[in-house]
A and B are shown apart, each in its own frame.
Chain A
């Protein structure tokens, strides 16, 4: 485990989580949440949990992004906060 790489990815994860909640466009929030999930998957691959990592890559970064984009497409893109 390379701790510098893990530290940089952890900081990026926190930044992405905060940005996904701060951005006012809901489609942008969905894309930022997808980036968050993929960075989380990289973090688990670094920690040696490869099974969890590829489940997260397919289910977290793939299926949940599709769900979010479909829900935003069926409702509205704008958000007040």
Chain B
């Protein structure tokens, strides 16, 4: 591929690169941050980045919302004019799952705070070792 080809790959698909940046920010927070609440925020950023990627692959150029009126019932629908609604439905489930995981993770973080009086991972490790 030529240099112009690479530049075109970066410029024309800029939204995918931004999704990759968001996923990397989330993964970095889950791995490198020491505070448990920051780790949970990173997990949520990773989840929403993946949901954003799936929603964006459903869009089409010049297409409209996948809602049919009364006069469309029973008629042929041109699929090039409506956005693909299947990834939307799947990601709707993913949003609900992400809120459930967020609630469980925050409850566990609160339990850990009640026991060890800190939310920092290294301090928790030190207290686990000395007890």
Report A's interface with B, CB cutoff 8 A.
1, 6-7, 10-11, 13-14, 17-18, 20-21, 26, 29, 33, 36-37, 40, 43-44, 47-52, 55-56, 59-60, 63-64, 67-68, 70-72, 74-76, 79-81
Contacts and interface: CB of A to CB of B under 8 A. Distances in A.
Interface string B41-57: 11011001001100110
13 contacts: A1-B61, A17-B45, A20-B41, A21-B41, A21-B42, A29-B38, A44-B55, A47-B83, A49-B88, A50-B65, A51-B89, A75-B109, A81-B33
B8 interface: no
State the majority secondary structure of interface residues on A: helix
A54 B45 CA distance: 18
A33 B103 CA distance: 15
B44 A81 contact: no
Interface of B: 14-15, 18, 21-22, 25-26, 29, 33-35, 37-38, 41-42, 44-45, 48, 51-52, 55-56, 58-59, 61, 63-65, 83, 88-89, 91-92, 95-96, 98-99, 102-103, 106, 109-110, 113, 118-120
Contacts of B98: 60
B52 A64 contact: no
A55 B111 CA distance: 29
- Give the top 4 A-B pairs by smallest Cβ distance, nearest first: A75-B113, A71-B106, A79-B35, A48-B83
